[in-house]
Structure 1
């Protein structure tokens, strides 16, 4: 019995595709190969009888994998894989590899093999990321900075920033705005009547962006006052509210800021109130 080969890669499309290329080219046998994203593997839980190989990013190899998926499987399968990469699920790299193994064998019909566990995971991750992105299009809150730029902060579980930005670019086409993913230190920047770009943020830039301006504070107080003024106390239903807006999404929503009830609920959430998860 062969020992397992576990290829570890960067958490990115280029990183996972680079690992797919190397693993496939090894001809070691697909059943003997696993892929892991560095940083997502279980710490201090190395598998016995396994060889660990770290794969460096290779843009050329990653491009070959991307082109092969589009030509030999389908463009839709490629989009599904890309969305799966954006998830925070530690199974994603391995699921993508084995999904592609089946895809290169069956072509576009691989999507019909819903009983296959790896195909199931890819569909599951697509729904997971898609649902997260959909919710954030309604939960993002912009603040107008002193220079007139609209600024929003998010900390999504999945890397949905690139998915949600076109939604706001379409609706705020004449505005200059930035959406910052605090957790991943990336941001999308949109210039009025122009295209948007994705950029990485340095620690210094992050500290500057997170600093609260006087104008921002006024905006947040105004929004919270409005939110409270339209609420009828007798009709408040905190449980229903939590079911519609889970605690995870409230951190940067101005109507929930400085809410003592929210803070106590968040504490209880840490103690195991999993019903608050969406």
Structure 2
């Protein structure tokens, strides 16, 4: 049985609900967009249902003292191949064991794999905290473009809301074509068609809407970066380990 869902987190949880309700072990779980039809597959398409998704989360957290839902969400955000099946396998292990101790049982290959992915997600979140570089537009919006390996934008908003609570800002994921916008009152997700983004889209593309002093601030930051560097102690290998090259195109000091 191949289960097909709409690609949303609620859709995946709805799939899980149907799988356990009907007691049909899945061969695969994938999105409509990714699924490739074969004559041998038996297909079940599951519509997203918020109530079913909420029941799955409630059941998991009751068994694990609130720990499982955060792990499952990170697995979904990883966007890795077979991540949906890993979510199913982890949930199956939790239901069979019935308490949170299963989440530390790394002899279980699914739990081990989930823990490894969670660690990778945490590392990417930490890098986003460190590597996001805001630029100021003429209308006072601070904007930044990112292109993370995983879909971590939903996990970094609280950090920037606390740190820049008195500023308007927009962080846009160029790979997934949506962003996170904060207007000093509330934080919300926006897509490429949202008026908030379209008004400032040119700022992400070039210098046309930059604040007139933005270049001066960028020059100051580059000078600071060069001043604190000790040429005699350069270690390129260590530098690349902590600041991988794929992030450089969005770092002011590397432009």
TM-score per shorter chain, which class? 0.7 to 0.9
With the length of structure 1 as denominator, give the TM-score of the two structures. Answer: 0.78
How do residues 26-175 of structure 1 correspond to structure 2 at under 5 angstroms? 26-28=22-24, 30=25, 32-39=26-33, 49-108=40-99, 109-175=101-167
Deviations 1:79-104 (A, max 9, x none): 11112111121221101112112212
Q: Is the 8 A contact 1:37 1:93 kept in 2?
A: no
Give the Cα separation in 2 of the matches to 1:50 and 1:113.
Answer: 33
Q: What is the aligned partner in structure 2 of residue 19 from structure 1?
A: 15
Match for residue 225 of structure 2 among 224, 227, 232: 227
SS at match of 2:237: helix
With the length of structure 2 as denominator, give the TM-score of the two structures. Answer: 0.84
Equivalenced residue count is 247
Task: Compute the RMSD of aligned alpha carbons.
Answer: 2.6
Deviation at 1:78, TM superposition (A): 1.2
Q: Is the 8 A contact 1:99 1:119 kept in 2?
A: yes
Identify unmatched segments of 5+ residues in structure 1. Answer: 258-278
Give the Cα separation in 1 of the matches to 2:18 and 2:103.
Answer: 24
Deviation at 1:56, TM superposition (A): 2.7
Deviation at 1:172, TM superposition (A): 1.5
Identify unmatched segments of 5+ residues in structure 2. Answer: none
Q: What is the aligned partner in structure 2 of residue 275 from structure 1?
A: none
Q: What is the aligned partner in structure 1 of residue 171 from structure 2?
A: 179
Which 4+ runs in 1 deviate beyond 6 A?
none
How do residues 231-242 of structure 1 correspond to structure 2 at under 5 angstroms? 231-242=229-240
Give the Cα separation in 2 of the matches to 1:104 and 1:233.
Answer: 56
